[in-house]
Amino acid sequence: MAACLLLCGVLVWFLADAGQVRQDVSAALALCARSVIPALFPFLAVSTLLLRLGFGELAAPWLAGLMEPLFRVDGAGSSALLLGLVGGYPIGPRTTAELYRQGSLRKDEAERLLTFSNNSNPVFLISVLGIGVFGSVRVGIWLWLIHVLSALLTGLCFRRYRASSSAPQAPTRGSAFHAVSFSAALVESVRAACSGILSVCAFVLFFYVLARPLSALPPPLGPVLVGVTELFSLTPLLTA
């Protein structure tokens, strides 16, 4: 009931201030075109293509010695961690979900991996924040290194996690690596990346509009509330 009343209030706000809402949506579309799509779409396409070509199976033997003892995740999960650190949101979780669907990870392993594979990419931290906000490449690199360390520490904290309702699961690993058609994998990967970026941009648009009134609040309260609501909307406020 409370949620319905809240949504009715939001709808009334949208109708009463339709002109400003249209302007906010236009600004969010420009933000997506300027920052979100260039930063994410190429990484989404390439990471999906890597997985379809068997990157998870190839990486597993090399990194199993680190992933299994440190994070209690099969070596195939290293591809989600690496791609999540390099490609940024939401490539890590998408890669984790794909590995789980392929049978390369058990459910409990995928759940643990989700806690530390969803990270900002270095392009955003170094280019947008480091150079654009702080005017320093070094600051951007430090931000990314802190991000990497935080992710790894989070993985260590959750290494003993197991859903209380789930019993220990038997391995259901996928089949060994096998060659697939590169052209077919490329087409499917680009389609999947397009679908993923549309979903990301849709959420950015929606929460950008919701967060816009918060930006009028005096700092630091305004930027803090905007950042909690929608991350990309925060960056224009940081320069001030």
Which 3 state secondary structure label does DSSP give 116? coil
pLDDT at 130: 85
Query: Nearest CA to 77 among 45, 52, 51, 40?
Result: 51
pLDDT tens per residue, range 118-147: 888 787 788 778 887 888 899 989 999 999
Torsion of CA 84, 150, 221, 230, to 10 degrees: 10
pLDDT tens per residue, range 56-96: 667 667 777 788 888 988 888 888 888 888 777 778 898 89
- What is the helix (H) or strand (E) element at residue 238, kind and residue range? helix 235-238
**Position 175 confidence tier, pLDDT thresholds 50, 70, 90:** very low
Within a domain: 130: yes
| The token pair that represents 35 in the structure block | 């920052």
Within a domain: 128: yes
Within a domain: 82: yes
Taking each helix axis from N to C terminus, what angle separates 37-52 and 78-87, rounded to the nearest 10 degrees?
160
Within a domain: 198: no
Within a domain: 194: no
pLDDT at 57: 67
* Residue with the larger pLDDT of the pair 96 and 216: 96
DSSP type of residue 159: T
Within a domain: 90: yes
When divided into structural domains, the chain yields a total of: 1
Burial class, 8, CB count within 10 angstroms (exposed 0-12 / middle 13-18 / buried 19+): exposed
Q: Is 135 left (phi over 0), alpha (psi -120 to 50) or beta?
A: left
Query: Nearest CA to 28 among 205, 206, 196, 199?
Result: 205
What is the average pLDDT across 157-180? 59
pLDDT at 141: 92
CA 109 to chain centre: 18
**Position 23 confidence tier, pLDDT thresholds 50, 70, 90:** very high
Range of the domain at 135: 54-161+175-179
Within a domain: 121: yes
Share the mean pLDDT of the chain.
82
Within a domain: 125: yes
Residue 201 predicted with pLDDT over 70 = yes
Share of the chain above pLDDT 90, in %: 15
